[in-house]
Amino acid sequence: MRKLGLKRLGITLFKKILGILGCLFFLCSIIFPFCSIVYSGFLRISEYHGYNSNYYWSFKALHESYHLPWEPPESRTEYWFYENEFYQYMPGPSLSYLLVFMFATQVLTLSTGIASLLFNRRVLALAPLTLCFVVMVLMTYTNTVLLRTDSALYPYSGSSMITNPAVLPGYWFTYPAIILFLLSFILNIVSKKRSSTYTPSHTLTQ
């Protein structure tokens, strides 16, 4: 009986560790940008006109302008989700609103992930897993839209565009977070089943 109790304690502790790691990985997916687009142009074939970089989070977009690759950016502008420029700057009429919805889902994912560490409820263990998957799907869709964005959306004073899109760590961090939340949810089910099947026996001595 003591071994069974220690085993249940070990499962609970391991589930907590998985949940903490899942929250940390998911926090990294919020902190780091999940997509970038680099586009450069030429006024003429023989005259280089620099290049620009756009980095995307769920809650902001960062625009950097360079003249040469090895030089620091000439300008650096951030557009946050509460600014009107954020909605005007994003390509596509509804993509900026999708990012705001993604940010709200990220906040809910992190909140329910932390709550699942404090309260032993199956629905709380399932919530961060489901919401993290939703965030991953939203990021995948946004990446697809951004990576297919035509260079016409980035006017550059008559120059031609060469876009170089990339998927960044903010997107890839969602995958280990999903795996960790899934393992934590499975362990939650296992511990619940063990709790329901375990009935302590009492011996009466006279």
For 165, half-sphere exposure in the C-beta direction (CA atoms, 13 angstrom radius) is: 14
155-196 pLDDT, tens per residue? 444 444 556 678 999 999 999 999 999 999 998 887 766 665
Tokens 């260079």 belong to: 151
78-110 pLDDT, tens per residue? 989 888 878 776 766 678 889 999 999 999 999
For Cα atoms 91, 96, 163, give the angle at the middle one, nearest 5 degrees: 30
d(CA 36, CA 62): 9
20 contact partners, CB below 8 Å, separation of at least 6: 117
Mean per-residue pLDDT of the chain: 79
**Is residue 99 a contact partner of residue 142, using CB atoms and an 8 Å limit?**
yes
Which is more confidently placed, 51 or 117? 117
Q: What's the pLDDT score for residue 151?
A: 46
Q: What's the pLDDT score for residue 54?
A: 86
d(CA 65, CA 118): 45
pLDDT at residue 44 greater than cutoff 60: no
pLDDT at residue 153 greater than cutoff 90: no
68 contact partners, CB below 8 Å, separation of at least 6: 50
Domains and CATH numbers, the chain: 2-197 (1.20.140)
d(CA 162, CA 28): 30
Range from 56-70, 123-137, 159-173 carrying the lowest mean pLDDT:
159-173
d(CA 23, CA 111): 9
d(CA 61, CA 115): 30
